[in-house]
Amino acid sequence: MAVTVLGLGLTVLYVCLEPPGRGGRVLAGVTAGGVDLAGMALPEGLARLQELEESLRRETVTLVYGDHRRSFELAQLDLRLDRTAIMEQALAAGRTGFFLAWYGQRRNLARTGFTVPLAFRIDRERLPALLSGDPAFYRPARDARWFVGPEDTVVVVPSRDGWRVDIGRLERDLGEALNDGRHPLVMRVVLEPVPPRRTTAEVQSLGLSGLLASYTTRFDPAQTNRTYNIAVAADALNGLLVPPGQAVSFNEIVGPRSQEAGYKDAPVIFNNTLVTGVGGGVCQVSSTLYNCVLLAGLEVLERSNHSLPVDYVPLGLDATVVYGYVDFKFRNNTGSYVYLTTRVTDDTLTVKIYGNAAYRKKIRVRSWIEEEFAPQEVRQPDPNLERGREVVKQEGARGYRVAAERIIEEGGTERRERLPASYYPPVDRVVAVGTREPVPTLAPPATPVPVGVPPGPSG
């Protein structure tokens, strides 16, 4: 019986504290940003807060740092109220914990009221843009960098610290001002440093101080597709920075030679002959790089020659590449970074390798023919040609076995380093020999002479 009476009493107390039809509405005494939310359900409160947001976005805020001032509307910072969070807190006022405690909470609401803090956000990315051009409030950090100056010197541009308004502090101060109803909105800001992403010391630690080697090859600009492919592949190598000890794969850096990658059809060597294929000309880039790597004293890990000699580098000093099958690889065997640049002019391709000038050596590269191979003549019967006729279908070419070496001068002495050998197989001379029998030709019939008419002119 006592339990029943207690339950009835608590029910009556709950009904008194939360009368039917009043649940889910903000209690009296609850405000937010100077707006009275009393008696509002969630949809009404959200609509009223939307009006408040639009009003606040038209407010002007002035940032002050020393003697410098900048003013703009809060809409330019894209100020947005978290209306749902504000209403949830407003509806919870006077209803926190067990309902027996609500009576005391509501007496306090009636006496002192309750202001819900304005939950809001601003777009942090917009503030630097608004303050750009005014170094009193914002100066971007400058990363250290390097560039190649006159006579192939490497010049280091030092880094510089920047600064910006402490946005976290600004948000807190702005929230206090909005909740206090302060007008006008004047914020004294604090600046925080912005460090560069790359410092001067970091760039200097790369060790780039001068040119290690340069190599130039020429091409025919009239072959426009081939020239275009050379430029595409060279651009992929331009600016390559290689840490000490790291290996470099030409195929990995340049990528697949396909139409999707931007390459065009041009002559390529396939099965000892020139045919049209996508990416023709890329091997001139790999061969130019190979020779530059040799002169820079870097370590060659993988290199293959073409099946036919090429005319843009000496015999035995070419480097063919086929994506997925044949690669050219080298290693930075110096103690500092190396940096590659490429330059394509109207008819030349130049590759340069920069690094620590202390590793620069006097290097010569030479190649020579060790053995020559005369071409064979292959005579192929051709039933499309008459017997006795011959047509050269393929001119022959001599083959070569070529050796090469790198000569490095150190301390007044020469050190010779054998380079990968090259073998260019001879190309057969192919002659088509006719086998078709000639078709006999019949003589035309004689013209008949009329009977009784003597031969000779008639008058």
pLDDT value of position 6: 38
Answer whether residue 284 shows pLDDT above 70.
Answer: yes
Identify whether the C-beta of residue 49 lies closer than 8 Å to the C-beta of residue 34: no
144: Cβ contacts below 8 Å, ≥ 6 apart: 156, 157, 158, 159, 196, 198, 199, 200, 202, 203
Q: Which residue has the higher pLDDT, 275 or 413?
A: 413
Instruction: Check residues 282 and 103 and name the one with the higher pLDDT.
Output: 282
Question: What are the sequence ranges of the domains in the chain?
Answer: 2-172, 206-360, 362-438
Tens-digit pLDDT profile for residues 349-392: 999 999 999 999 999 999 999 999 998 988 889 898 888 888 99
Percent of the chain with pLDDT over 70: 86
Positive or negative torsion for Cα 42, 48, 51, 52: negative
Count of Cβ atoms closer than 10 Å to residue 364 Cβ: 13
Mean pLDDT confidence for 105-110? 70
State residue 103's pLDDT score. Answer: 54
Peptide bond into 454 cis (omega under 30): no
Q: Specify the CATH number for 362-438; select among 2.20.230.10, 2.70.98.20, 3.10.20.740, 2.60.40.10.
A: 2.20.230.10
Neighbouring residues of 181: CB distance < 8 A, sequence distance ≥ 6: 33, 34
Q: Minimum mean pLDDT among 150-154, 182-186, 419-423, 439-443: which range?
A: 439-443
The answer on pLDDT for 417 being more than 70 is yes
| Residue that has been written with the tokens 């009368």 in this structure | 19
Q: According to the model, what pLDDT value does residue 22 have?
A: 42
Q: Output b/e per residue, 391-408; b: 16+ Cβ within 10 A.
A: eeebebbebbebbbbbeb
Structure tokens at 158: 């030092």
Instruction: Say yes or no to pLDDT of 14 above 70.
Output: no
pLDDT tens, residue by residue, 146-202? 999 888 999 999 999 999 999 999 999 999 999 888 889 999 999 999 999 999 999
The pLDDT, as a whole number, for residue 444 is: 67
- Span between the terminal Cα atoms of the chain, in Å: 165
pLDDT surpassing 70 at residue 452: no
Q: What per-residue confidence (pLDDT) applies to 118?
A: 92
Asked whether the predicted pLDDT for residue 236 surpasses 70, the reply is yes
pLDDT tops 70 at residue 13? no
Determine the 3-state secondary structure of 118 from DSSP: coil
pLDDT category of residue 100 using cuts at 50, 70 and 90 = low
**pLDDT for the residue numbered 110:** 64
- What's the pLDDT at 93? 85
Rounded distance, CA 319 to CA 285, Å? Answer: 9
Average pLDDT over the chain, rounded to an integer: 87
Give the pLDDT score at 283.
94
Which range is least confidently modeled, 3-12, 151-160, 295-304?
A: 3-12
**Residue 248 in this model has a pLDDT that exceeds 80:** yes
What's the confidence (pLDDT) of residue 114? 86
